[in-house]
Amino acid sequence: MSQFKVSALMFDLDGTLLNTAPQIAEAANAMLVELSLPTLPYAQIKSYIGEGAQMLIQRCLAGALNDTPDPSVMAKAQPVFFAHYANNVTESLPFDGVQDGLDALKQRDLKLACVTNKPEKFTRPLLEASGLSPFFEIVVSGDTLSGKKPDPIQLHHICAEFDVMEMEAMLVGDSATDIAAAQAAGCFIVTVPYGYNQGKPIDESQVDAMIRDLTELPSLLI
């Protein structure tokens, strides 16, 4: 197994650290009900996760309408989804191995950051409620900067804040969006298999390593 020398580790949130799909699907279907649209199966909504709330809402509406949603419907839907999601966002739980993996990494004096396409108003409460907030020196959300994954701007920002070169940093994620962002930034990319990659398996040829869960991560690091 390859080993990597890095100073900073960046972690995706949804599908990597926390199992947020149940709460997202619940809020999305509550939104559809309020808009008098048919609800969608859990697996379908889960496959829409990974590119931010806007894309999720758009896909849910398109899936329910069997068509591209009208901009006026999108404008109406967004605050409805956010209102429902605010009610259950903090119920999401970490995946197995996350707490133990982060504990082991923290003891090695590595710089840790969380980088997500989720809006900050949901990111912060979620990290606090799940007990993961203390692990991260930096948290960059989907609306922190002018762009978000797969744009590498978030990763460049974190590396600059940590004062490390991109080749000394690693992104741990679960999706093609994470892979594209890390490759564009020039960071290592390691993926977990249990997340939300639009329902598709990760292309192993595109990543530096795959791990079953975060407890395997320390053994990859020199």
Query: Which residues form the catalytic set?
Result: 12
H or E segment and range at residue 191:
strand 188-191
- Please give the C-alpha separations between residue 50 and each of 16, 168, 222, in angstroms, as whole numbers: 11, 25, 30
The kind and range of the H/E element at 11 are: strand 8-11
Q: Please give the Cα distance from 18 to 76 (Å, whole number).
A: 28
H helix or E strand, kind and range, residue 99: helix 98-107
Helix axes 53-65, 21-34, angle to 10 degrees: 50
CA 213 from chain center: how many Å? 15
> Closest Cα partner for 26 from 14, 41, 47, 48?
41
Is the N-terminal amide bond of 150 cis, ω within 30° of 0?
A: yes
